Amino acid sequence: MADDTALATTEDNLAGVSGPERAAIFMMSLGEKNAAEVLKHMAPRDVQKLGLVMSSLSNVSNEKVESVVAQFVDTANAQSGVGVDSDEYIKNMLNNALGEDKAGGIIDRILVGKNSKGLESLKWMDPRAVAEVVKNEHPQIIAIVLSYLESDHAAEILHHLPERARSDVLMRIATLDGVPPAALQELNEVLENQFSGSNNVQNSGVGGVKTAADILNFMDGASEAAITETITETDKDLAEAIQGQMFVFENLLEVDDKGMQAILRDVESEQLIVALKGADDTMKEKIFGNMSSRAADMMREDLEAKGPVKLKDVEDAQMEVLSVAKRLSDSGEISLGGKGDEEYV
């Protein structure tokens, strides 16, 4: 009973605090060296997103810090220290985690804006800037570059490329079957010369239908439809193969309750409300059914009170929810069922 009471108190203290904000508070409580060790094991895009949230934290109460740490201890049986600072803390932590060269890029992305080296540098760059770098390259080169990046980042870059090039690039990604080490190294050196630096790149099995599907998953509805239509006209079988690997918002109905609860813990309430504006009653009840009765009632009230929302905003919010779901799936924490009989594990 005491444990239940403590858990309820923790959840009350963290009501309205999103998953990313909880992660940021926890990292700020670890101390620079320990936080740096954690960041070494995270993907660049996750480091960037977490750093952005950390840089925006202010006036975090002791109760929230204690509740975040208590929640982590309950789930991971770990220990943490305390201490919350801001810009200098983030700079020192990222330098410890990534080294001064690589950290320079992410620090400036978070606090101002700079760059890294070679192919690796593109992971830290703004999507529009990457699109400017590669837009005049051969579509096959662009396909290799986008295959090397994470899907949500690649999708944003693809969005900033000329419309006529998008379908061609995505088809090349889908039919790409790895890249020879020499070709990848040569591409890396070309980019290195543009950014001045050096970086070692190993052979990578980049590309393929799943990579193309993952990127298309993060495109807005109109762009996805246009690209899919063009690919279908050129290669219907390839278009069907890509669609078979895709995961869309409605597929969240196939996620089990434990998986859905994990997703909801990492999604901001406001984002979820906007996403649900475009969902049917079955999807809404699936989500409400995986909340506490109080949280579900509050969400219903907020949803009813929410005025009209642009379709683009709904699609963006749904993509953010899918981004959380895919990250949890990639880490093995949950299982996602895709279209048809496909499943991500």
- AA letter at 112: V
Contact 244, 338 (CB under 8 A): yes
230 and 144 in one domain? yes
CA within 13 Å, CB half, 166: 23
Average pLDDT for the chain? 75
- Backbone φ, ψ for residue 147 (5° rounding): -65, -30
List CB contacts of 200: < 8 A, sequence separation 6 or more: none
Residues 241, 257, single domain; the answer is no
Would you call 204 helix, strand, or coil by DSSP?
strand
Choose one of 210, 245, 280: the last residue of a domain: 245
pLDDT at 115 over 70: no
Please give the pLDDT value at position 158: 92
Q: Which of 292, 287, 260 is closest to 14 using CA atoms?
A: 292
Do both 175 and 265 map to the same domain?
no
Residues 225 and 145 in one domain: yes
139/236 same-domain check: yes
> Could you tell me if 171 and 220 lie in one domain?
yes
The stretch 100-113 carries a mean pLDDT of 53
- Asked if residue 167 and residue 102 are part of one domain, the reply reads no
Which residues make Cβ contacts (< 8 Å) with residue 113, sequence separation at least 6?
A: 126
Among the listed residues 220, 219, 243, the one whose alpha carbon sits nearest the alpha carbon of residue 231? 243
* Single residue among 199, 227, 245 that ends a domain in this structure: 245
**pLDDT above 70 (res 311):** yes
pLDDT tens figures, 1-13: 444 544 455 566 6
pLDDT at residue 99, as a whole number:
63
CA distance 234 to 168: 10
Number of domains in the chain: 3
Q: Grade residue 79 by pLDDT with cuts at 50, 70 and 90.
A: very low
Pick the last residue of a domain from 114, 138, 167.
114
pLDDT band at 246 (very low <50, low <70, confident <90, very high): confident
279 plus 335 within the same structural domain: yes
- Mean of pLDDT values over 99-113: 54
- C-alpha dihedral (33, 34, 39, 42), degrees to nearest 10: 160
Q: Are 243 and 339 in contact (CB under 8 A)?
A: yes
The domain that holds 308 is classified in CATH as 1.10.220.30
Task: Based on the fold, state whether residues 17 and 109 are members of the same structural domain.
Answer: yes
DSSP strand E in 145-230: where?
none
Q: Is the pLDDT of residue 341 over 70?
A: no
What b/e sequence results for 71-105 when a residue is b if at least 16 CB atoms lie within 10 Å of its CB, and e otherwise?
bbeeeeeeebeeeeeeeebbbbbbbbbbeeebbbb
Q: Are residues 336 and 289 in the same domain?
A: yes
> Are 244 and 218 in contact, with CB atoms under 8 Å apart?
no
**Residue indicated by tokens 């859905």:** 260
- H/E element holding 337? strand 336-337
For residue range 167-190, list pLDDT tens digits in order.
Answer: 999 999 998 877 777 777 777 777
**Structural domain boundaries, residue 263:** 249-344
Please provide residue 220's backbone torsions phi and psi, each rounded to the nearest 5 degrees: -70, 160
d(CA 76, CA 79) in angstroms, rounded, equals 9
Q: Are residues 280 and 183 in the same domain?
A: no
Same domain, 217 and 287: no
